[in-house]
Amino acid sequence: MSSSSRRRRLVGNSLATLLLLALVAFFLFPIFYAFVTSLKTRVLAESPIPHLLFRPTLENYRSLFVDNTYGAYFLNSLVIGLATVVLSLLLGVPAAYVLSRCRFRGKGAVLLWVLSSRILPPIGIAIPFFLAYRRLGLIDTHLGLVIIFLTFNVSLTIWVMSGFFDQIPRELDEAAIIDGCSMTGVLMRVVLPLAAPGLSTTAILVFLEAWNNFFFPLVVARRNAATVPLALTTFLGDYNIDWGAIMAGASLLILPLLVFSLVIRRYLVAGLTQGAVKG
C-alpha cells in the first residue's frame, strides 16, 4: 500500500472517530440529561436555564418511594417481568429444541407461524384480551399482564433459542442418546448447559420486552398491577408534571437495561431481530 493512501486512511479514520463522537453526544445526551435532572430540586429542574453545575439532591428519589408508591410499581414490573421470563422459557425452550433437532411434516408452517407473531401489531389482539379479562376478572391483575406478555414472548423465545440450539452440534445429542439419555435428559444434561449464554440472552430479551412494554399495561392494568411505564404516565405524568420525579423514575427504570445491554452486547442485535438475519 502506498504511503499516501495510508495517510489518507489515517485521516479518514480520525474523521470517522470525530463524527462518531458527535453521534455519541446526540444519542447519549437525552439519557445523561434525564439522569442529571433527576438529581435536581424541582425549582432547578423547571428552570429555563439548563444548569449543569449544581448541588445534587436525592430528594426526587426519596419522594418517589415515600410520597408516591413508585416502589410498588417497581416491584410489579419486577415480578411480572420475572414471571414472564420463567413461563416463556418453560414453554419456548422445549419447543425450540424440537424445532431445532427434529424434522417433521409441517415444520416450515410452524416456523412461519411462530415468526409471524412478531408481525402482529399488539392492537390486533388487545381488544379480545381486554374483553375476556373483564369477564374473567383479570383486569388489573399480575396474572393478566403475564399472560398477555406471553403473546409475543413465547415466540420470541422459540426463535432465539432454536437459533442457539442450531449452533450446538447434533453429534453431542446423538452420543447422549446412545448412552441412554431420554430427550429430556439430552436437553437438560447436554444441550442446555452448552446453550447457557443463549439461555441468559433470551431471558434478558424477554425481560426487556415485558419491562419496557407500555401498551398492554395501559389496556389491561389500572392501579394494582400497574408497571412503571404505566405509572409514569398516569400517576406522575398527568397534570402539573413533576419532571424531577419523572426523570428519577425513568433513571431507575433505565439503569438495569443499560447494564443488561452491556452483558448481552454480542447477542443483542441478533436477538432483537429474532433470528431473522439467519435466513
Partner 1 sequence: MRRPRGQSRIAVTSERSVVFGRNLERPLYLYIPLAVLFLINIVPLLYTVYLSLTNWVLFRQRTPTFAGLVNWAEMLTSGRFWHSVQVELVFVAGSVAIEFSLGFGMALLLNREIRLREFFRSIFMFPMVLPPIIAAFLWRFMLQADIGVINYYLRFVGLNRAFLATGPSALATLILVDVWQYTPFVALLLLAGLQHISREVFQAAEVDGAGPVQIFRYVTVPLMTPTILIVLLLRIIDALKVFPTIYVLTRGGPGIATEALNYLAFLMAFEQSRMGYGAALSLVVMILSVAIAIVFVATRRRMAGWD
Q: Which residues from 20-39 bind partner 1, rule CB under 8 A?
A: 20, 23-24, 26-28, 30-31, 33-34, 37
Distance CA 68, CA 245 (A): 9
Count CA atoms within 13 Å of residue 56 on its CB side: 9
Report which DSSP code applies to 149. Answer: H
**Dihedral sign, CA of 183, 166, 272, 279?**
negative
CB of 191 closer than 8 Å to CB of 173: yes
Over the window 61 to 80, marking each residue x when it contacts partner 1 by CB under 8 A and - when it does not, the resulting string is: --------------------
Q: Which of 64, 99, 190, 206 binds partner 1 (CB under 8 A)?
A: 99
Q: Pick the stretch among 61-69, 138-146, 148-156, 192-200 that binds partner 1 (CB under 8 A).
A: 148-156
Distance CA 250, CA 256 (A): 11
Residue 104 is a binding residue for partner 1 (CB under 8 A):
yes
Distance CA 152, CA 159 (A): 11
Q: Which of 174, 196, 197, 222 binds partner 1 (CB under 8 A)?
A: 174
Q: Which of 11, 19, 86, 136 binds partner 1 (CB under 8 A)?
A: 19
Give least dist CB 132 to partner 1, A: 8
Q: Which of 170, 189, 222, 223 binds partner 1 (CB under 8 A)?
A: 170
Closer residue to partner 1, CB minimum distance, 63 or 122: 122
Q: Which of 43, 105, 124, 193 binds partner 1 (CB under 8 A)?
A: 124
Q: Which of 155, 162, 201, 202 binds partner 1 (CB under 8 A)?
A: 155
Distance CA 67, CA 80 (A): 23
Residue 17 is a binding residue for partner 1 (CB under 8 A):
yes
Residue 92 is a binding residue for partner 1 (CB under 8 A):
yes
Residue 109 is a binding residue for partner 1 (CB under 8 A):
no
Give least dist CB 258 to partner 1, A: 6
Assign 177 to helix, strand or coil: helix
Q: Pick the stretch among 58-66, 136-144, 192-200, 239-247 that binds partner 1 (CB under 8 A).
A: 239-247
Most distant pair of Cα atoms in the chain: their distance: 76
Assign 39 to helix, strand or coil: coil
With vertex at residue 177, the alpha carbon angle to CA 176 and CA 179, rounded to the nearest 5 degrees, is: 65
